[in-house]
Amino acid sequence: MQMLSFLARRILLAIPTLIGVAVVTFFLIRVVPGDPVVVKLRADGAPITEATIQAERKRLGLDQPLHIQFVDYMTGLARLDLGRSLWTGQSVAEEIAIRFPVSFQVAVMATIIALLIALPLGILSAVYRDTWVDYLVRIVAVSGLAIPSFWLGMLMILALLSLFNWLPKIGYVSIFQDPVANLTALIFPALSVGYRYAAVATRMMRSALLEVLREDYIRTARAKGVYRALVVRRHALRNALLPVVTVVGLEFAFLIGGLVVTEQVFNLNGIGKLFVDATTRGDFTLIQGLVLLIAVIFIVVNIIVDVLYGLLDPRIRLS
Amino acid sequence: MADVAARPAAPTLPRRPNVVLTFVRQQPLGVIGFAIILMYVAFAVFARQIAPYDPEEIDFAFMLGAPSTEHLFGTDQFGRDVFSRIVYGARTALAVGVLSSIFGCTLGALIGATSGYFGGRVDMIVQRFVDIMLAFPIIVLAMVVVAVLGKWPVFGVDLNLVIAIALPFLPKMARVARSSTLAIAQMPYIDAARAAGYSHTRIVLRHIMPNIMAPYLIMVTAFIAQAILLEASLSFLGLGVTEPTAAWGLMLAGQSADFYREAPWMVLFPGLAITLAVFAFNLFGDSLRDWLDPRMKG
């Protein structure tokens, strides 16, 4: 019951933020000096005359005054209608729905990779503090923060080409159709965005564990004669996981942003590529839809993190 | 020697430790980071003297040349010297990185300090805006702003790009500045300043801002690293710096897989330049944080 009311309140609180995001994006992108209609006509090879521009504007509803466009857009949103892409004429929701699975899968795979790397490395680094293990892990982590993920992706392609003369097939197949092709195509993008993610999580795991290991109850447990490994596993780890969960959650939302660049390197047709296309084409409605989607993911992940907090640490009441 | 030890010590005040020396002694890694930063600064300032070639000079006779004594890092598909382009690229990276970080952090600190100082309704409204801005991933916000603003070159630096990169840092700095300000606003000296009849502007600028200098400096150095990464990403996407200007991200842009095998140096060296620069600023930033604010040590 408490959980339900917590969720309800959080979702209600998210609505003003989302409306804010929608309003800000709407007006921000309409300050664009370039005219999306002209860009579109030029790409279509259509004659650019005053008449064609006016006709196209009318067709897309861009001839309406700004406040009417705004009211149209907001009432559309209230009915969960994101509008139609100015470029393709497809519904924005559909355009996103086609692209979303690829990006989502890469993001999930990157998270798994990050956790698989970060938890053991972070624990090792904290337990063997100031030994060569610790230094090695810290170097790996600091370089993870410094290497641009798109460059890491390029290096992987370079290595695959020169070592095996092989590249994963371009094009996305659903994991349910052909799991092998799906995974070989997506593992490298996932690795290249996952490395940075792992670095952030490793640093957090290390510092959180170090902090907990200084607590009195750890000393008590050790004084009772409990093995160090057991103290770390039973007493320290559970308490150190909280900040790690926060960081992993926050980074997950930003992972979608990181994919913007990496998808270009691997030629993946995900929402990152869609976003780059939308900004270069000045596709207002598509940009609005994508920004809203990212904001929704951000908020949902935040709520999940808060729920996990309550589960991991019963002292934290959901409030 | 005995009488020297026996002589009573002269009553001297404890000497104030030399700031630079204590930093060097306590943070050796930070010194390494700083040295690398200095190298890049030298690249940026003396690019003309250091670079062996004109970074924009096209020479089709030397297309995709492998690294050699003449072209240290090889040449690109237009026969331009990769090393020279990296040296000149330091100008772009540092100019955009430093300017956007300072701009974003200063504005963010002012907003955060004001919001924390006044509290109440002002604070609530500002924090809602900060929440909204934080809901955008950094690169998404920067991309939208770049698309919106277009270009505004001043002395070869695209100021709109600087603004686009600075904007995502603003809410983060505002958060930090606000939480520091909340503690400072309770201090007696703020009460005293208010009792003395100083204006709000004066209290924020003269009494609060100097006291949030430590988190400010920490954030500025940390964000320079992020700003360099962001500029490289935007240029890579074709949204940041444009040809023929030398910029590291741009050097990696549009590399089709054919070039990868034929001219791997075109991929390797610009990426290394980015990585080393970000690494140096991170290293220096971390040390600065440990040194200025041991509580934030992580």
Nearest to A33 among B132, B150, B229 (CB): B150
- B272: nearest CA in chain A? A147
- A33: nearest CA in chain B? B148
| pLDDT exceeds 50 at position B298 | no
Mean pLDDT of A266-282: 84
* Model confidence pLDDT, tens digit, residues A108-160: 899 999 999 999 999 999 888 888 888 889 888 888 888 988 899 888 888 88
Nearest to A17 among B132, B146, B239 (CB): B132
Mean pLDDT of A255-284: 83
pLDDT at residue number B272: 92
| pLDDT exceeds 70 at position A36 | no
Shortest distance between the Cα of A95 and any Cα of chain B, in A, equals 18
Q: Does B260 touch chain A (CB under 8 A)?
A: yes
ipTM: 0.80
CB contact (8 A) between residue A142 and residue B283:
yes
Residues of B in contact with A207 (CB under 8 A): 297-298
What residue has token string 């842009």?
A: B253
| pLDDT exceeds 90 at position B110 | yes
Answer yes or no: are the C-beta atoms of A28 and B148 closer than 8 Å. yes
- B149: nearest CA in chain A? A32
Computed over every residue of chain A, the mean pLDDT equals 81
Mean pLDDT of A264-285: 83
pLDDT at residue number B291: 79
* Model confidence pLDDT, tens digit, residues A41-54: 766 666 667 777 77
| pLDDT exceeds 70 at position B11 | no
pLDDT at residue number B276: 93
- Min mean pLDDT across A23-27, A111-115, B131-135, B168-172 is at B131-135
pLDDT band at B277 (very low <50, low <70, confident <90, very high): very high
pLDDT band at A318 (very low <50, low <70, confident <90, very high): low
Nearest to B233 among A142, A143, A150 (CB): A150
- Min mean pLDDT across A153-157, A189-193, B182-186 is at B182-186
pLDDT at residue number B36: 93
- B139: nearest CA in chain A? A257
Q: Does B136 touch chain A (CB under 8 A)?
A: yes
Q: Does B295 touch chain A (CB under 8 A)?
A: no
Mean pLDDT of B216-228: 89
- A300: nearest CA in chain B? B135
DSSP secondary structure string for all residues of chain A: -HHHHHHHHHHHHHHHHHHHHHHHHHHHHTT-SS-HHHHHHHHHT----HHHHHHHHHHHTTTS-HHHHHHHHHHHHHTT---B-TTT-SBHHHHHHHHHHHHHHHHHHHHHHHHHHHHHHHHHHHHTTTSHHHHHHHHHHHHHHHS-HHHHHHHHHHHHHHHHS--PPSS---TTT-HHHHHHHHHHHHHHHHHHHHHHHHHHHHHHHHHHHTSHHHHHHHHTT--HHHIIIIIIHHHHHHHHHHHHHHHHHHHHHHHHHHHHHHT--SHHHHHHHHHHHT-HHHHHHHHHHHHHHHHHHHHHHHHHHHHH-TTS---
pLDDT at residue number B273: 92
pLDDT at residue number B79: 73
| pLDDT exceeds 70 at position B258 | no
- A288: nearest CA in chain B? B144
pLDDT at residue number B109: 92
CB contact (8 A) between residue B132 and residue A142:
no
Residues of B in contact with A150 (CB under 8 A): 233, 236, 252
* Model confidence pLDDT, tens digit, residues A53-94: 777 777 777 777 777 778 877 887 777 777 777 777 788 888
Mean pLDDT of B79-89: 85
- A192 against B19, higher pLDDT: A192
Structure tokens at A120: 């053991």
pLDDT at residue number A33: 55
* Model confidence pLDDT, tens digit, residues B32-72: 889 999 999 998 898 888 877 777 777 777 777 777 777 77
- A209: nearest CA in chain B? B298
Nearest to A291 among B136, B271, B276 (CB): B136
Mean pLDDT of A254-268: 82
- Could you tell me the sign of the dihedral formed by the alpha carbons of A283, A285, A288, A292, in that order? negative
Mean pLDDT of B188-193: 88
Give the bridge partners for B239, in sequence order: none
| pLDDT exceeds 90 at position B101 | yes
Shortest distance between the Cα of A131 and any Cα of chain B, in A, equals 16
Nearest to A146 among B249, B260, B282 (CB): B282
CB contact (8 A) between residue B298 and residue A279:
no
Shortest distance between the Cα of A108 and any Cα of chain B, in A, equals 17
pLDDT at residue number B3: 53
Mean pLDDT of B252-266: 72
Nearest to B233 among A143, A148, A280 (CB): A148
Shortest distance between the Cα of B15 and any Cα of chain A, in A, equals 32
pLDDT at residue number A197: 87
The percentage of chain A sitting over the pLDDT mark of 70, rounded to a whole number, equals 91
| pLDDT exceeds 50 at position B215 | yes
Size of interface A-B (CB pairs under 8 A): 136
Computed over every residue of chain B, the mean pLDDT equals 82
Nearest to B257 among A31, A161, A254 (CB): A161
